[in-house]
């Protein structure tokens, strides 16, 4: 979320050991631009104090339905109306069961029932409770009613059991809350394919030809499209970034693998963004064993063959209505070169970046880009964070939808 987008989150905390993780969620949510107001069940107050949460959220914490309201309002209704998103984390099996049955016997469940905003539920419970068909049925019921019920992680639980039931980390819950407030109908039914990162073209089993792409631009693009509500598949070369929450990541290594992964999905997507830096050449004859140093030879000559061009190959089978966006990594004649690539790859727009400019291109967190459109129009942009550039590109794609 942009720092200017101040949004309102009601965080419902129910009584489980994962309640302590709510502190981190409040901290992260506040940093991301949410104002947070907390409702705790009585059981939650046994695990964590309202004082801690009041201090972190900078707001009064509601724990009891019959306490004196801060203002003369019916508090569960006013909080329900105030919320842009309602997050329940942790959500115990008990609270999930109550929400699925429409029971409203405390402040948390009453407010959920009165709330028309998106609801994100982060379950946390013992494995046997999680696997119980009653819990699973309750979760399905909530999903049918439009609740966003998150998965649980597998691991060692507080009770010693190993299995599913662990609440997912706060940073991942936050991503869903951000998506819940940002998503729009425009994107909700769309499927997007994004490529990111470098490729590795093997010379032998231990060496490869690669490039400096970190994947930051492509990952920012994938996250932006997902937060707008699209279903996103990210075909990624080898990078050191964490897989983004909610996004299917298809790891690949070579350009040919990237082409194969993209070609298998291209016909079913509405939008494809080619942010990756696939290697244009690969060693023609990679060695099966490690190439040894030869003291007598000063040079090693490697023959390269040209790789397929992914964007161009898919541009040939692009159907009407499909939108494809390329990037152009240039070191000279930025717009001219980018325009030729736009035409050659049958793209709708191309984002040209001068990869020699400071604060642009490979590895850094910012980029300086010019967007070239089919019409020939060129939009020159200032330096901005890659996440901001991703938002601009998504806006431009939206205007073509």
Catalytic residues: 159
CA distance 369 to 328: 9
Contact 32, 174 (CB under 8 A): yes
Work out which of 64, 153, 204, 309 binds ligand PMT, going by CB under 6 A.
309
Q: Does 215 bind ligand PMT (CB under 6 A)?
A: yes
Least Å from the CB of residue 235 to ligand PMT: 10
Closer CB to ligand PMT, 43 or 357, in the complex = 357
Contacts of 36 (CB under 8 A, 6+ apart): 9, 10, 11, 26, 29, 30, 57, 59
Contacts of 258 (CB under 8 A, 6+ apart): 195, 199, 235, 237, 252, 276, 278, 310
Judge residue 142's burial from the number of C-beta atoms within 10 Å of its C-beta, 0-12 exposed, 13-18 middle, 19 or more buried: buried
CA distance 91 to 97: 10
- What is the distance, to the nearest Å, from the Cα of residue 227 to the centroid of all Cα atoms in its chain? 7
Least Å from the CB of residue 277 to ligand PMT: 4
Q: Does 370 bind ligand PMT (CB under 6 A)?
A: no
**Binding pattern to ligand PMT, positions 331-360, x when CB under 6 A?**
----------x---x-------x-x-----
Closer CB to ligand PMT, 175 or 195, in the complex = 195
Closer CB to ligand PMT, 27 or 396, in the complex = 396
**Binding pattern to ligand PMT, positions 62-101, x when CB under 6 A?**
----------------------------------------
The helix (H) or strand (E) run that includes residue 390 is helix 386-400
Q: Does 307 bind ligand PMT (CB under 6 A)?
A: yes
Residue 26: count of CB within 10 angstroms of its CB: 27
Assigned token pair, 109: 């469940």
Q: Does 324 bind ligand PMT (CB under 6 A)?
A: no
Which residue is listed with tokens 């469940």? Answer: 109
Closer CB to ligand PMT, 118 or 279, in the complex = 279
Work out which of 63, 109, 127, 214 binds ligand PMT, going by CB under 6 A.
214
Q: Does 326 bind ligand PMT (CB under 6 A)?
A: yes
Contact 225, 239 (CB under 8 A): no
Site size toward ligand PMT (CB under 6 A) is 30
Of 180-199, binders to ligand PMT (CB under 6 A) are 195, 197
Least Å from the CB of residue 247 to ligand PMT: 16
Contacts of 399 (CB under 8 A, 6+ apart): none
**Binding pattern to ligand PMT, positions 231-270, x when CB under 6 A?**
------------------------x---------------
CA distance 310 to 278: 8
Q: Which stretch binds ligand PMT (CB under 6 A): 18-26, 145-153, 273-281, 297-305?
A: 273-281
* Ramachandran angles phi, psi of 171, nearest 5°: -65, -30
**Angle CA 142–121–16, to nearest 5:** 115
- What is the distance, to the nearest Å, from the Cα of residue 326 to the centroid of all Cα atoms in its chain? 20
Least Å from the CB of residue 350 to ligand PMT: 7
Least Å from the CB of residue 67 to ligand PMT: 51
Q: Does 274 bind ligand PMT (CB under 6 A)?
A: yes
**Binding pattern to ligand PMT, positions 280-299, x when CB under 6 A?**
x-------------------
Provide the binding-site residues for ligand PMT, judged by CB under 6 A.
195, 197, 213-218, 255, 274-278, 280, 307, 309-311, 326-329, 341, 345, 353, 355, 361-363
């Amino acid at each position: 979320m942009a720092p200017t987008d101040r949004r309102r989150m009601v965080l419902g905390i129910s009584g489980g050991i994962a309640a302590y993780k709510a502190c981190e969620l409040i901290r992260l949510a506040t940093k991301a631009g949410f104002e947070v107001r907390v409702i705790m069940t009585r059981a939650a107050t046994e695990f964590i104090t309202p004082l801690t949460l009041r201090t972190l959220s900078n707001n009064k914490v509601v724990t009891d339905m019959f306490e004196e309201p801060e203002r003369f309002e019916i508090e569960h209704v006013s909080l329900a109306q105030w919320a842009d998103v309602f997050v329940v984390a942790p959500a115990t099996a008990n609270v999930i069961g109550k929400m699925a049955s429409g029971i409203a016997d405390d402040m948390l469940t009453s407010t959920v029932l009165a709330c028309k905003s998106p609801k994100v539920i982060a379950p946390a419970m013992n494995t046997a409770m999680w696997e119980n068909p009653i819990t699973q049925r309750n979760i399905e019921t909530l999903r049918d009613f439009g609740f966003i019920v998150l998965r649980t992680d597998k691991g060692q639980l507080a009770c010693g059991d190993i299995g599913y039931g662990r609440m997912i980390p706060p940073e991942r819950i936050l991503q869903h809350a951000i998506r819940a407030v940002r998503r729009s109908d425009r994107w909700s039914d769309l499927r997007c394919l994004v490529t990111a990162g470098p490729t590795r073209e093997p010379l032998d089993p231990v060496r490869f030809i690669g490039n400096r792409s970190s994947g930051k631009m492509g990952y920012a693009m994938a996250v932006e499209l997902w937060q707008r509500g699209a279903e996103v598949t990210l075909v990624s070369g080898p990078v050191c970034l964490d897989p983004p929450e909610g996004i299917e990541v298809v790891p690949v290594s070579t350009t040919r693998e990237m082409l194969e992964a993209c070609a298998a999905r291209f016909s079913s997507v509405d939008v494809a963004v080619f942010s990756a830096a696939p290697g244009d050449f690969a060693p023609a004859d990679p060695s099966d064993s490690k190439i040894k140093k030869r003291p007598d030879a000063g040079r090693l000559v490697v023959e390269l063959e040209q790789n397929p061009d992914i964007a161009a190959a898919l541009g040939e089978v692009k159907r009407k209505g499909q939108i494809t966006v390329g990037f152009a990594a240039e070191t000279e004649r930025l717009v001219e070169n980018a325009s030729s690539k736009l035409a050659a790859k049958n793209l709708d727009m191309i984002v040209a970046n001068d990869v020699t400019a400071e604060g642009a291109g490979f590895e850094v967190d910012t980029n300086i880009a010019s967007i070239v459109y089919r019409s020939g129009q060129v939009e020159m942009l200032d330096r901005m964070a890659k996440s901001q550039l991703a938002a601009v590109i998504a806006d431009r794609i939206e205007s073509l939808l």
